[in-house]
Amino acid sequence: MDTTFSMLPAYAELFCFSNFTFLHGASHAEELAERAAQLGYSALAITDECSLAGVVRAHVAAKAAKLPFIVGSYCRLRNADGSPAFGLILLARNREGYGNLSELVTIARTRAPKGEYRVTPQDLSRPEREYRHLLGMPDCLAILVPEFPAKEDVLDAQVEWLDDTFTGRAWVGLVLHQRALDDIHRGSVEFIARKHDVPVVALGSVVMHVRSRKPLQDTMTAIRVGKAVNECGYDLAPIFQQILGFGEYGFPESHAASFALLVYASGWLKRHEPEAFLAAMLNSQPMGFYSPSQLVQDAKRHGVQVLPVDVTISAWNSSLQSIDRAGKPAVRPGLSLLRSMRDGAAERIENSRAVRQFKTVSDLARRAELDRHDLQVLAAANALTSLAGMLAKLRDVHLFSPVD
């Protein structure tokens, strides 16, 4: 597991299609598992559409990478009249859950023509007598995947059904792909979920393990929707199309031209100097749409080395650090990114460190005048690990009691 950026929240991908989801997934299941391990994910669920075909290969790869693996499947539920209802992810908690999920997939496939399937909400909330044991899908967790953008009245009824059918085992999924209506969608999802006291969980809706598979995925999308690739919408548009879009947005011409220049310059910098681009973006936080976690994960996918926050090195701002003379620099995140870190404390750390390097956590706390809160913030981000005997020294300043 990659632990170079310890501030990142633990993340498990719970919505992921492999190439067994025809004309959607552009990567093999084992590639997805290996990539998730490289990115330091806490776990991975392969959730092919009404299929468990990819789980064996993914399980083998995940086991080799010591990555916790979850068996799951996504189904697009349909009403009794055949109209679309909503998307639902089911995740097996144990062997019994895996058996129930396997049976549901079999039932859904056998009742429809080859290559299709049919699952209704009633199959899960009011199943026929012979399938009564599948009521509420015992030993499975359920995640509702709302349509984008979510309509609150529709979502309200769906979440009510979800909570009634999977009481205590239900989540509402939130997929954000930097689309124009993301804020509205997120607000609706969070409002309705809060109304029914159902937690929200982040989903990636992953269809490939590396961005170089995008041309393949674009081609499959074009085949699936029956259009040419260049007619498939914003998700397939290159930067040039986004630049043209600014000229048609309704801004004054000078404003549109300025935005177009910014898009081009940002795109060039991200492509040719990704380390400097990441450091600049981290130092521009908060931005309101790209979080530090998203920026770092994207940079890693493009080969940028991100070092951990280190109280003996890190400044307030993120910076570039030379690793060797021939290679590219790495990015050292700044103390400003630590949640609840106070700028006054960071300034005292930098000033004290400029006089003499810290030897222990006690030395750090004394010379930089750090209180319990400051040290806990640093410890939570693993920013103290370079100081020898961190845990023992933390006990010296009475932050933690001994653990049995």
| pLDDT above 70 as % of the chain | 85
Burial 306-328 (b: 16+ CB within 10 A, else e): bbbbbbeebbbbbbebeeeeeee
Question: How far does CA 33 lie from the centroid of its chain?
Answer: 14
Q: What is the per-residue pLDDT across 334-379, written as a single tens digit (0 to 9) for each?
A: 888 888 888 788 889 889 888 889 888 888 889 989 888 888 888 8
Indicate the DSSP class of residue 134: G
Q: Which of 146-160, 270-284, 315-329 has the highest mean pLDDT?
A: 146-160
User: Worst-scoring range by mean pLDDT, 125-139, 224-238, 258-272, 336-350?
Assistant: 224-238
Whether pLDDT at 15 is above 60: yes
Q: What residue ranges do the domains of the chain occupy?
A: 12-223, 338-396
- Cα–Cα distance, 190 to 287 (Å, whole number): 21
- Cα–Cα distance, 177 to 115 (Å, whole number): 29
Sign of CA dihedral 147, 151, 157, 163: positive
| CB neighbour class for 171 (10 Å; exposed up to 12, middle 13-18, buried from 19) | buried
- Cα–Cα distance, 297 to 315 (Å, whole number): 21
Whether pLDDT at 2 is above 60: no
Q: What is the per-residue pLDDT across 119-136, written as a single tens digit (0 to 9) for each?
A: 999 999 999 999 999 999
Q: What is the per-residue pLDDT across 178-197, written as a single tens digit (0 to 9) for each?
A: 777 888 889 999 999 999 99
- Is pTM beyond 0.75 here? no
User: Worst-scoring range by mean pLDDT, 189-193, 228-232, 295-299, 338-342?
Assistant: 228-232
Give the per-residue pLDDT at 1: 44
Strands of 69-78's sheet in order across? 12-13, 43-46, 69-78, 84-92, 140-145, 170-175, 200-203
Give the per-residue pLDDT at 62: 96
Q: For strand 200-203 and strand 319-321, is the pairing parallel, antiparallel, or unpaired?
A: unpaired
More confident residue, 132 or 263: 132
- Cα–Cα distance, 297 to 54 (Å, whole number): 25
- Cα–Cα distance, 316 to 195 (Å, whole number): 40
Burial 47-74 (b: 16+ CB within 10 A, else e): bbbbbbebbebbbebbeebebebbbbbb
| Angle, helix 239-247 to helix 253-272, in steps of 10 degrees | 160
CATH 3.30.70.790 assigned to 12-223 = no
% helix, strand, coil for the chain, step of 5: 45, 15, 40
